[in-house]
Structure 1
Amino acid sequence: MKSIGLYLLAASFFALPLQAQLTKPNATSTEQLMNSVQERNEHRAQSILHSYPIRNVGPVTMSGRVSDIAVHPDTARIFYVGFGSAGIFKTTNGGATMQPVFDNQGGAMGIGDIAISNSNPNILWAGTGENNSSRSTYAGTGVYKTTDAGNMWTLMGLEGTQHIGRIIIHPENPDVVWVGSMGALYSQNEDRGIYLTTDGGQTWKKTLFVNDNTGVIDLIIHPENPDLLWAAAWERSREAWNFVESGAGSAVYHSKDGGNNWELASDGLPTGATLGRIGLSISADNPDRIYALIDNQDVRKVESNNTGNRGLLADDFRDINSKDFLSLNNEELNQFLRRNGFPTKYTAIRVKEDIRTSTYPPSALADFLGDANAELFDTEVIGAEVYKTDNGGESWEITHDIALDNVYFTYGYYFGEIRVDPSDANTLYIMGVPMLKSTDAGKNWTPIAENQRIHVDHQALWINPKDGEHLLLGNDGGLYESKDGGENFIHHNVAPVGQFYTVNVDMDTPYNIYGGLQDNGTWKGSSRSTPNREQPWERLYGGDGMHVNPHPENSDIVYVGFQYGNYVRRDLSDGSSYRITPRHEVGEDRYRYNWNTPVELSHHNPDIVYFGSQRLNRSFDEGKSWKAISPDLSYNLPNGDVPFSTITTIAESPLSFEIIWIGTDDGKVQRTTDGGATWVDVSEGLPAYRWISEVHASSHDPSTAYVSLNGYRFDEFVTYVYKTTDFGETWVSVKGNLPDDVVNIVIQDPIQPQILYAGLDHGSYISLNDGKEWHLLNNIPNVASYDMVVHPRDLELVVATHGRSMYVLDVTAFHELVPRINESTTLFSLSDMRYSSRWGAQSVDYRDPFEPNFEALFFVQESSSRKRNQPTSSFEVVIDVKQDDASLYSTTMDVQKGFNTFHWNLWNPTTNSYLEKGTYTVQITNGSTTHEQSFEIK
């Protein structure tokens, strides 16, 4: 249960012991951040993987977190959708289809805000760095501008702002722009407040700065007088172990001179340390009226009117002495134990005997019940409140007498948006877990779309200024549209923007892909899926989907769960399931479970399950019973309101059941070589206290492992990837030429040990020489790659991105290339084709003929040297197709260094027909070097 008074007290004493044990690294400077962006751009321009075939397999069913919506002022058919970690998508047909328009800018794909100019709709501004201060909110690199409706974007500065709250464009002069910046999330900095440009972004002036923990989350402008603006300042401080989401710096400010000067306008609003995020909305119908949605973190004062028998509660045991405990009624005590899910071995008689023998104190019964996920919803804070002013902010008053329960719970920092109907000053909407609507200026509230199951956690809303019934709504489930004021919605789930945390695969044919998504549960889909066309995905479980493990011998058995260690074993064949989360013994330290608690099946017996808390737990019976096989493997640092010092990654060696590695969020790497009987801390030689995002045990050598670490939760964006070949006694960096960035995953190829795969916050990379040199996968956008797996049979790499769903690529070409890496040309194995008599046929006259598509993937060391106006004979690469040494087809091809793909429709110009069944040879000639492969048409 979260009480803000205790919460702030805990935060204040927590900082002292933590500082004594943990030295925080310096946050990455703006200069370092932009150098990294330049390095990323160079990788994208020079990568040898520019033409490597990669397919996106979706899903699109659930979409992903929307951060903002910007609609063309003249037509609602054209609008732009900003996503929390997927960039910007544009539609010109009212949402029937959407195309990305902000990929590969070098900076973050996280969008804080989008603004479109009313006077010139081809001009848009995008603020990078999502403004929802969540655990997967990425730092941006400033503000970007387009003058051609999103085709090209230019960085216009403010590189150090990291998270943009709001952008306002002057209604008549698009060169005048105001930007509200939240600044860094996990560190203090001064690049926050309000910035003003009057020359289209060439120069900027900071006009409001509160302090280095307080930024500006919202801005509004008077619809008739652009000299009048209001700003919402928000003070917050986030650490890996604690989040103070309110502070004395939170307030409303007002400018009367076009944003050059600001004064407080908070009379009547809550003030002080418990004021959190604030959202603002001004009425176009009555511009003197402004609404404010605030997150009030003060303690709710509630008097109990329960005079009946309430039964025993956990709090009853916190201060009770042993004598009084032993006098409790056994029936009531048993009811308490069963009602709260204690293991059946704990009965009133057993517990009283434990208390009598001082095995543990009575307070241990209350301590046993801690659940980090439940604490998100079990709240004593006031939460969401709506205030209004009818005098332009000179004074405010609350609009409602009733409490807005269950709108924010404890995490109001994640919401904060309020919108008033432009045509009716009394109609407004507030966004939280549900979205509520009021038609009487905020006095009474009703939830929208009660007859529909639209997604929860609402982030963005556009109300059509010409039709107040027409809404565009963005939430954690994507984009929705209503034509009746929120009574009914349609879901525009057409963009593959899933935010995956994890990925796994089964051994079906074709194999299925499994993944856990941010606030969209866990899903299963065919590896042959095509977004918006075929092979829909199936939902397996709810919540924030985390680790998922299908049984390799029976894909109907799946271990699946949600945040903070809540996992079950499901049988998809009959729908049965049982909870598998390990429970500590009463009197022991409570198990601490990470937000993304790792759960793994043994390589040697899939009925053996590993489960990480601060200890490693192992089950030999599919999660029915557990035994801790380690002590606390973390630093056991003090915790705030977020579980910390937890295991984040588990790696059992594929070569030995006795060898297990683990990593923790506070920087520990430990391993055992005797199945958990003894553990060795092998963290020395690695950067201290960084989050261990992955430990990967080699499938080629039992003493070899790879480790990725990240400093994201210190705002340290530095690449840390290491390798050991002696069980962790020593570590060497395999960063190579990777740009500085946060590393989420590193794995080794199961066939070729020289090949490594790494997922960073801004791209996916492959190394062909054990980390000496890395190459960017160009055909995956500049999006965070959270997890990767190579299918052991099909040899395909599956990449789980946190923003653009799943990508799949065949890695057999990498296996063939490694032994030929110094050859000038390599043609990779060709796939056989199935002959069809329908080649060249038209089903109807207005359709193009059906033609085969033959693809040949090859690698060259250098790009073509053809110059302008030279004949085609100067091309470096010649492609010949032969049968029995007779040439059937020959062409030349301009190529770039790296992987290239030759496409051909199998048309034989010598016979004026398509190739018949038979075996054919393809030759690639590059200078004096020729390499050939054969394929068969069956």
Structure 2
Amino acid sequence: MKLSKIWLSAIAASIIVCGCFEKNVIIEEESSVEDFSTLNKKQFPYEQQFIHKNFPYKTPDYRAYKLAKEDVSNRTNAGARSDGKWKVEGPGNIGARVNTIAVNPNNSDEIIAGFASGGVFRTVDNGTTWQPVFDDQADLNIGEITYDPNNPSTIYVGTGDPNISGYPKIGSGIFKSIDGGGSWNYKGLEEASIISRIHVAPSNSDIIYVSTMGLPFIKTTARGVYKSTDGGDSWQHKLMINDSTGVIDMVVHPEDNNILYAAGWNRNRSDSLSRIVGPDARIHKSIDGGDTWIMLEGGLPIADQMGRIGLTISGQDYDNIYASYVNTGGSDSCSNGGSQLLGIWKTSDAGDNWTEINTLPDTGFPCNALGGFAWYFGQVRVNPNDDNDIFVLGVDMWRTKDGGSNWERAVPSWSTYAVHADKHDLIFDGIRMILATDGGIYESTDDAENWVDIENIVATQFYRIGYNPHRPDWYYGGAQDNGTSGGNAEIINEWPRLSGGDGFTIDFDSSDSMIYYVLSQNGNLRVTFDGGDSFDSARSGFDNSEGTNWDTPYFVSKHDPKVLYAGRQSVYKGFNDGEEVEWSKISDILTDTTGNESFFAHTISTVHQSPLIEEYLYAGTTDGLVWSSRDAGQTWDNVSEGIPYRYVSDIVASPSKPNSAYVSVTGYKSNDFVAHIHRTDDNGQTWIPISGDLPQIAINDILLHPEYDDNVIFVATDGGIYFTVDAGESWDRLGDNMPIIEVYDMVYNPVNNELVAGTFARGIQTFDLEQVNLDNNPSTLDNIPEFAISLYPTVTTNQITAKWSDYDFENYFLSSTNGRLIEKGQIVGDMLTLDVSYLSPGSYVLTLESNDGAVSKQFVKM
């Protein structure tokens, strides 16, 4: 990846926080290996942001979340969306996490890649161009992709993220394509939640094995290994270790599909637990197609607290199996903080006996090779042409060519960004290797001497985005594991990286183009006074004894560009004097602090200032509180009554009405139909739900168009962006080409009159608002009498039918009673039947249009 700026100072913090521990873990510097202290700068995948968003429930409600996403998908596919196209601005060169890659066994130019949250992409020209092939599905969290070795037109996709590093990345089962990815059919196993491996037997395409992790939030028996003998039409549950242990890896004998090996893993997590080790991390073997299993020992490590196991099988001798083990702290001779590699074991007799491969420091294999979060990787590979050529995937990738006597780095150090950090899959295809990382896909054709980035897929996961008034033709954002960057579609594959770490809010001084602010995880705020050539800390004055959100909220005031506001557990006001930024506290602590010593401390999640009255401030918290100040922070009122007891994701003060503000919340709970967005017209004394007919899906961000007197509102949700032109009575999904993906942030670009979206799967996208009618003016004049058509039933639960005889109607329009268009289409013949089961209960209007005019009739959906 070619990047014009790399600022490593953004990730120089040596305290590294991991979701697998309650308290911060300090990774010790490894001085005996060149530049391995840079691993101290590599931040762990983080769960707090996602877990808190489920507040106040300890266990995320998987079913409610799935139903919400399916509702969005069904409505969108049925036409409940506006016209207009989203434009992808980029970046194509920054990348995102790829969990799995597969190569067509009959055509090496065809590669399919599965992203952790961005879906499935395919290339047929060895990476020159890529196309999404899975966007019609509601879940784009991909864990595994496999070609049928006997018929490469058949492809299997397993959904769900096996690395389990952030909620909600659960899947919806396994999907099958018989036309090379052109279309997909659901093949079951939704209850298995996370698919870790798929194996199609080379001798019989009807025999398929699937390993699953199950739902990590609850105890469930839907874990283990499943088998199909009819090409995925039905499944038998062949291995269930217990209700808390999934199978993270699996290998099958290439010539005898009755022989298979499965690795158990105790990976459980909820709002009060994140478990990465346990007593059931063991290897199981079956020689009868899964009917019976034995637990392997014979020299393998056995402990009450063992971590993730990775498996691979030799291409030279199928009795040779390799297993990598991780645990907390590493081995006796190579201990280090966090989750580390315990060792690699090999069997030459199909699992009866195992010997450990040398990974001691004197071989060149560093103690901290997996960065303290080995549970995030757990992958070992062996060259199919050489059993002594072994690879361990981690922050970097390590290799031995002599069976463990000597180890070396097989890629450039992650800190150079020549190959992105965090390696998740490695496949061999002839003389080339293909590597999947947290930043895309790389290829080597010279035995790992050189690596080339072979994809420009826009799949970056943006947390926050920003609008630069000095350069409105550029788009900026902070991304998961990929820092802060900026650019546009004209330089889609050349976006410069402005800052490192996990990127969050970027904001600009409207009076000085050389001053802007960047934020990385845990409130690491920095400022540049020279347009990005150098950055200084902008945290002076913060009380470091307070907790702070992983995504710490802050903004530059619209009233005075030298003034900033931020939220930790208190609200702070900052001042930039041209040389430094100094903060002072302007509130008491506004959150519950009982969890301050733990991973689950509550913090302020959002802050806002009225664009009309400088003294009006608002703050929302992760524990469901909303606060208001009308005197610039001297006093604060708790105005939470009337707001659902949920994580407060956003507060926005009205740009038109000084006493009005809007609050959104997240979270899912079955049979709990709380509104996710509310409005106050009296400074928070009372709140009015304005969810209208929005799907029951979490809202992450609110944006009010400044020119429509609060009638036009946009909300970013876990299923795309919705908008209303009638102050929340009715809502439409914006645009017809954005897949069902999470959008966490939006900004309005007034120069281009466009909405800018920061997606958590497909980079930054823009929508030209000229494509939609924001004035809410019906355009069709009815001049044909109502008796010209008959409509029945007028009260319905699933469908309506219209008939006529004297007119040649050509088009139909289905609208809400206030004129919002829901669906439209063409008419053939003298009868029209429509499926309206997806509509929310209420009154609707069907309009038929011909060259002679139009006629409308009303009906009620129950």
Shorter-chain TM-score bucket reads 0.7 to 0.9
Matched, 1:779 2:737: yes
Q: Give the conservation status (yes or no) of the 8 Å contact 1:2–1:380.
A: no
Picking from 415, 421, 424, the partner of 2:377 is 415
The counterpart of 2:404, out of the listed 442, 452, 463, is 442
C-alpha separation between the residues in 2 aligned to 1:876 and 1:24? 48
Measured in 2, the distance between the counterparts of 1:457 and 1:702 equals 48
User: Residue in 1 aligned with 2:393?
Assistant: 431
- 1:668 to 2:625 alignment: yes
Q: 2:388 and 2:87 mapped to 1: Cα distance?
A: 49
1:770 maps to 2:732: no
Aligned-partner SS, 2:360? coil
How does 1:841-880 map onto structure 2 within 5 Å?
875=810
Q: Establish whether residue 518 from structure 1 lines up as the match of residue 549 from structure 2.
A: no
Return 698-707 or 543-552, whichever deviates more: 698-707
Deviation at 1:266, TM superposition (A): 4.4
Change in 2 beyond 3 A, CA 1:301/1:697: farther
Query: Does structure 2 retain, via aligned residues, the 8 Å contact 1:215–1:233?
Result: yes
Report the Cα offset of residue 876 of structure 1. 5.2
Q: 1:755 to 1:487 in 2, by over 3 A?
A: same
Tell me how far 1:242 sits from its aligned partner. 5.5
Summarize deviations over 1:472-507 as a string: whole Å, max 9, x none.
Answer: 111011011100121111112321111111111111
- 1:25, CA displacement in angstroms? 5.8
| 2:124 matched residue in structure 1 | 92
Contact 1:193 1:215 in 2 (8 A): yes
Within a 5 Å distance, the mapping from 1:342-357 to structure 2 comes to none
Match of 1:562 in 2: 520
Aligned equivalents of 2:71, 2:126: Cα separation in 1:
37
Match of 1:104 in 2: 136
Distance 1:717 1:763, change over 3 A: farther
The residue aligned with 2:420 is: 455
Report deviation, 1:641: 5.6
Q: Are 2:96 and 1:141 equivalent residues in the alignment? A: no
- Code of the residue aligned with 1:74 in structure 2: it is N
Seen in structure 2, the aligned counterparts of structure 1 residues 470 and 66 have a Cα distance that, compared at 3 Å, is same
Q: Summarize the Cα distance change of 1:898–1:458 in structure 2 as closer, same or farther, 3 Å threshold.
A: same
Matched length = 755
1:55 counterpart letter in structure 2: K
Change (3 A) 1:57 1:128: same
Write the deviation string for residues 746-769 of structure 1: whole angstroms up to 9, x where unpaired: 322222212221222232222222
The match for 2:57 is 24
Does the residue aligned with 1:501 lie in a helix, a strand or coil?
A: strand
Instruction: Confirm or deny that 1:817 pairs with 2:782.
Output: no
Distance 1:824 1:654, change over 3 A: farther
* 1:584 Cα deviation from its structure 2 partner: 4.8
Q: Counterpart of 2:468 in structure 1: which amino acid?
A: D
State yes or no: 1:203 paired with 2:168: no
2:157 alignment partner AA: A
| Residues 1:244 and 1:303: Cα distance change in structure 2 (over 3 Å) | closer
Is the alpha carbon distance of 1:70 and 1:398 closer, same or farther for their aligned partners in structure 2, counting shifts above 3 Å? same
Match of 1:497 among 459, 477, 495: 459
Say whether 1:677 aligns with 2:709: no
Residue type at the aligned position of 1:400:
N
Q: How far off is 1:380 after superposition? A: 5.6
Distance change (3 Å), C-alpha of 1:180 and 1:249: same
* CA distance in 1: counterparts of 2:246 and 2:113, whole angstroms: 24
Q: Provide the residue aligned with 2:545 in structure 1.
A: 590
Q: Distance in 2 between matches of 1:637 and 1:486?
A: 50
User: How far apart in 1 are the matches of 2:422 and 2:242?
Assistant: 29
Query: 3-state DSSP class of the match of 2:77?
Result: helix
Amino acid at match of 2:550: W
Q: Distance in 2 between matches of 1:503 and 1:715?
A: 33
Q: Which residue of 2 aligns with 1:609?
A: 564
Give the corresponding residue for 1:703.
659
Q: Measured at CA, do residues 572 and 390 of structure 1 come closer, stay the same or move farther in structure 2, by a change above 3 Å?
A: farther
CA contact (8 A) 1:649 1:695 kept: yes
State the secondary structure of the residue aligned to 2:337: coil
Equivalent pair of 2:266/2:280 in contact (CA under 8 Å): yes
| Residue 288, structure 1, aligned to residue 319, structure 2 | yes
- 1:449–1:486 CA contact under 8 A, matched in 2: yes
Question: SS at 1:43's partner residue?
Answer: helix
CA distance in 1, matches of 2:570, 2:670: 25
What amino acid does structure 2 have at the position aligned with 1:28? D
1:633–1:714 Cα change, 3 Å: farther
Separation in 2, partners of 1:729, 1:121: 62
CA distance in 1, matches of 2:154, 2:434: 21
Structure-1 separation of matches of 2:16 and 2:178: 48
Q: 1:235 aligns with which of 252, 266, 271?
A: 266
C-alpha contact (below 8 Å) 1:649/1:664 kept by paired residues: yes
Could you tell me which of 96, 103, 119 is aligned with 1:71? Answer: 103
Structure 2 residue identity aligned to 1:707: V
Closer/same/farther in 2, CA of residues 792 and 614 from structure 1, 3 Å limit: same
Match of 1:470 among 399, 420, 432: 432
Partner residue, 1:529: 490
Contact conserved, 1:719 with 1:741, CA < 8 A, in 2? no
Aligned to 2:574: 619
Query: What is the SS of the residue equivalent to 2:549?
Result: coil
Instruction: Give distance in 2, aligned partners of 1:719 and 1:429.
Output: 50
| Distance in structure 2 (CA, Å) of the matches to 1:416 and 1:461 | 12
| Offset at residue 530 of structure 1 (A) | 6.6
Q: Output the TM-score relative to the length of structure 1.
A: 0.74
CA distance in 1 between partners of 2:675 and 2:324 (Å): 39
1:635 maps to 592
* Stretch of structure 1 that moved more, 436-445 or 152-161: 436-445
- Which segment drifts farther, 394-403 or 420-429? 394-403
Please say if residues 745 and 759 of structure 1, whose CA atoms lie closer than 8 Å, have aligned partners that are also in contact: yes
Residues 345 and 355 of structure 2 are in contact (CA less than 8 Å); yes or no, is this contact kept in structure 1? yes
What SS does the aligned partner of 1:42 have?
A: helix
Q: Please give the secondary structure, in 2, of the residue aligned with 1:529.
A: helix
- Cα deviation for residue 382 of structure 1 reads 4.2
Alignment partner of 1:156 is 2:187: yes
- Counterpart of 2:689 in structure 1 is 733
Instruction: Give yes or no for contact 2:22–2:598 (8 Å, CA) kept in 1.
Output: no
Contact 2:339–2:375 at 8 Å: present in 1 too? no
2:276 to 245, 253, 270: 245
Q: Name the TM-score, length of structure 2 as normaliser.
A: 0.81
Offset of residue 794 of structure 1: 3.0
Instruction: Give the C-alpha shift of residue 67 in structure 1.
Output: 0.8
Q: Distance in 1 between matches of 2:541 and 2:714?
A: 35
Q: What percentage of residue pairs aligned between the two structures are identical?
A: 32
Q: Which residue number in structure 2 is paired with residue 53 of structure 1?
A: 85
Once residues 386 and 523 of structure 1 are traced to their aligned partners in structure 2, the CA distance between those partners, rounded to angstroms, is 38
> In 2 relative to 1, CA 592–380 (structure 1 residues): closer, same or farther, beyond 3 Å?
same
Query: Over residues 695-717 of structure 1, what are the superposed CA-to-partner deviations in whole Å (9 max), with x where a residue is unaligned?
Result: 22221223322222223799999
Q: Shift of the alpha carbon at 1:685? A: 3.1
| In structure 2, C-alpha distance between the alignment counterparts of 1:412 and 1:816, rounded to whole Å | 50
Taking structure 1 as reference, are residues 35 and 544 closer, same or farther at Cα in structure 2, changes over 3 Å only?
Answer: closer
Partner amino acid for 1:286?
D
Which whole-Å CA distance do the structure 1 matches of 2:628 and 2:528 have between them? Answer: 30
Letter in 2 for 1:456: A
Q: 1:396 aligns with which of 354, 372, 376?
A: 354
8 Å Cα contact 1:387-1:396 kept in structure 2: yes
Gap runs ≥5 in structure 1: 12-17, 305-377, 826-864, 878-895, 902-923, 931-938
1:698 is matched by which residue type in structure 2?
S
Q: C-alpha separation between the residues in 2 aligned to 1:135 and 1:303?
A: 29
Aligned equivalents of 2:360 and 2:132: distance in 1? 43
Question: Which region of structure 1 is more displaced relative to structure 2, 79-88 or 199-208?
Answer: 199-208
| CA drift at 1:511 | 3.0
Q: Which moved more, 1:509-518 or 1:798-807?
A: 509-518
Instruction: Give the aligned partner of residue 805 of structure 1.
Output: 763
Equivalent position of 1:481 in the other structure = 443
Distance 1:277 1:603 in 2: 49
TM-superposed CA distance for 1:80, in Å, is 0.4
Note the C-alpha offset of 1:446. 0.9
